[in-house]
Structure 1
């Protein structure tokens, strides 16, 4: 059975690990808060808490078809399920640094930004992508959120159009020797010896989800830990295990599910039905 975001939320309520670094250092799985956050996200989807390393690795293998690196998106892909991108910030209002990769409305197998290992991990053409963002301060996880790229950022054409327009403008400069590159540009033979080159790179960033969705959710700073998730209604209806989460919300006052309307990232004049899931302790 394919793991999904509903499973992850259920497992989070059951295992709210906020002392991230201490928890994962004690298990020899992470040395810093960024790595610890990624390990926690793996455990949330795989439900691999409190397992010895051999059993945990097997459970993670059963859950994920791909686990990535810092150079290419995504950080993980669920077997026959969604892709996941994990981002750590240290202050509540900090933006997300995406570096050379523009925001992902969805993830496509023909994208030049993904690795061959990701492309060949399973048979797929496109995946919905979950942005999982954690605010980690003094090795403590203070806030965590999960939002889908399709609800968070515009479609790919919005970003690729800007990227290629800039790329064409850079490459139209006369008297400069350009080389083929996936970046915005590369200038070869800058100096008389012809041994120096210049890389022109895009450095993308995006406001964090709490800032983007501040019209439907505001963090309670008096709580030790807050979790926020937004799932549009069409995506919510795809899951067959939402009843489990709804039942859990009835019995746990810290967990709440609300009907909301969110802006369409491609046309903010349009509102879309969605669910807001929050958990605060």
Structure 2
């Protein structure tokens, strides 16, 4: 079954940097995000060179158990494996907008932020969260860089974010003489004015720093490179991947590929360091 290591090999062996233009709709950012999602789908399914759409869909149905929407995480789930959240940025260092969904080290099936289709796509309770963060500069459709980094390398435990969210929600609902309704957002106030005709939605807008900044102590982003692919995971995740895929990576005879043992700051206690693996393809 496919995984981050097989996707890494697929990308470098079918080297291409163009992200498909998607023209439906007027929101360019979303459309280019769709193009990046198509790229990621092809990378994990090894379908870059498949021209028959029906055949490609059949492969996708075997590789993925869920394909999401723009409003609820994640964007993809690999069958019996990782959840994938895809983010397209026009700058290599800009912060990542997560909107109403806080950063996730793991994805849980009891999350109120996921859809019923996601919750029931297979039998699961917890999944590793893989962030695919691509830089597609403005006015181009060229993928200049791609980070594949697991959430537990830079996102704290969910309690850290939920404590802030719940504290804000509790403060909002303590306002006297207003009517509140149940919501997944921070709050929704009904009938704010005397006529009872005005509602107020209170939404969280989460952002997190770009991995290029977060991990600048591990990897120095090369502005002169045509393309760079950076994969980062904890050592225990790497060692849990199939031996066949690890051997294939470790025996690659490609001068543009490096595999390094590194130490990552613990997102819950940065003074502690975690063992990790860093894979880089740069041309």
**TM-score strictly above 0.5:** yes
In structure 2, what is the Cα distance between the partners aligned to 1:32 and 1:162?
Answer: 32
Q: Size of the alignment, in residue pairs?
A: 273
RMSD, matched Cα: 1.4
Contact kept? 2:20, 2:38, Cα under 8 Å: no
How far apart are 1:139 and its partner, in Å?
1.4
In structure 1, what is the Cα distance between the partners aligned to 2:151 and 2:97?
Answer: 15
In structure 1, what is the Cα distance between the partners aligned to 2:161 and 2:31?
Answer: 32
Aligned to 1:103: 103
Contact kept? 1:21, 1:32, Cα under 8 Å: no
- Could you list the per-position Cα deviations for residues 161-199 of structure 1 after superposition, in whole angstroms to 9, with x for gaps in the alignment? 100001001111112221221111111112232122100
Contact kept? 1:144, 1:228, Cα under 8 Å: yes
Aligned to 1:133: 133
TM-score between both structures, scaled by the size of structure 2: 0.94
Aligned to 1:225: 227
In structure 1, what is the Cα distance between the partners aligned to 2:8 and 2:165?
Answer: 35
What SS class does the counterpart of residue 8 from structure 1 fall into? helix
Aligned to 1:123: 123
Aligned to 1:113: 113
In structure 2, what is the Cα distance between the partners aligned to 1:57 and 1:45?
Answer: 13
Q: Give the gaps of 5 or more residues in structure 1.
A: none
Give the alignment partner of residue 247 of structure 2, picking from 222, 243, 247. Answer: 243
Aligned to 1:47: 46
- Pairing 1:251-270 to 2, within 5 Å after superposition: 251-270=253-272
In structure 1, what is the Cα distance between the partners aligned to 2:15 and 2:69?
Answer: 25
Aligned to 1:90: 90
Q: Give the gaps of 5 or more residues in structure 2.
A: none
In structure 2, what is the Cα distance between the partners aligned to 1:93 and 1:151?
Answer: 18
What SS class does the counterpart of residue 136 from structure 2 fall into? strand
Runs of 4+ in 1 over 4 A off after TM superposition: none
- Pairing 1:153-192 to 2, within 5 Å after superposition: 153-192=155-194
